[in-house]
Amino acid sequence: MNQREIIARRIAQEFENGAVINLGFGMPTMAANYIPEGIEVVLQTENGGLMFGGAPKKGEHSADMANAGGEPITMPKGSSAFDLAFSFCIIRGGHVDATVLGALEVDENGNIANWKIPGKFVPGMGGGMDLLVGAKKVVAALAHTDKEGNSKVLKSCTLPLSAAGVVKRIITDIAVFDVAADGLVLVERAPGVSVEEITAKTEAAFTVSPEIKEMVL
């Protein structure tokens, strides 16, 4: 199982039955493929839809049904579509139970950076900042280290922040941390990964939960 699949599978364990969820692009969206049987979530798309379905076949598509990535979707029974101002009433107003967003960096104060690498990569924040502030629970998902092995779970983010002090849970390919008032708590480790390995690969300080578990994937 590759790094991305581990993260996507672990994200899918976060969802509670009936929850309203907004998934960021990349690994969070992939997670929709691994939602455990018996769990039904209401997916929200920030361009203006609730309870949408997967891609249609060509010919069964509508030019007026797409997700926030511009991809065709279906609108099954029970779904709804609305304008962008209303969509962000849902997001900012606290009507989304959880959001899972990719991140470039996170830190021990629950800060998250995911919209800008100055001078290199400036796509914009899209709806990310609104989700980070408005969703009831914010989960950040990212590779634990960069390609050179440097920790992306930091003492303090170095990149421009997307929001301050909002992340409640961090999911990486080797660990799951909860962000508590007094710092990070390691609550899960990936199969075959020791606490020592996680310590060696993490810049942020953390405590180890007495009930630490192995990730369910």
Partner 1 sequence: MAKIISMEEVGTLLHDRMTVMVGGFLGVGAPLKVIDFMAEKQYKDLTLISVVASYPGGGFDIGKLTANKQVAKFIGAHIGTDPALVKQYNEGTVEVEFNPMGTFIERIRAGGAGLGAVITPVGLGTEVEENAQRVTFFGKDYLAFAPLKAEVAIVKAVKADKLGNLFYEGTSINTNTTMATAADIVIAEVDEIVEVGEIAPNSVGTPGIFVDYIVQGFTSEERKELFGELWDKNNKFKK
Active site residue 40: no
Q: Backbone phi, then psi, for 12, in 5-degree steps?
A: -60, -20
129 is a contact residue toward partner 1 (CB under 8 A): yes
CB atoms within 10 A of CB 141: 27
Residue 192 CA, chain-centre distance (Å), reads: 23
The active-site residue, picked from 14, 46, 105, 108, is 46
User: From residue 74 to residue 113, what is the string marking binding to partner 1 with x (rule CB under 8 A)?
Assistant: -x-----xxxxx--x--xx---------------------
163 is a contact residue toward partner 1 (CB under 8 A): yes
Member of 7, 12, 43, 68 binding partner 1 (CB under 8 A):
68
Q: Backbone phi, then psi, for 99, in 5-degree steps?
A: -125, 145
Contact predicate 139/11, CB 8 Å = yes
Stretch that binds partner 1, among 10-18, 64-72, 144-152, 195-203 (CB under 8 A): 64-72
Please tell me the distance from the alpha carbon of residue 17 to that of residue 92, in angstroms, as a whole number.
22
Residue 215 CA, chain-centre distance (Å), reads: 16
Residue 115 CA, chain-centre distance (Å), reads: 14
55 is a contact residue toward partner 1 (CB under 8 A): yes
Residues lying near partner 1 in the complex (CB under 8 A): 45-49, 54-59, 61-73, 75, 81-85, 88, 91-92, 116, 119, 122-130, 132-134, 160-165
Give the active site residues.
46
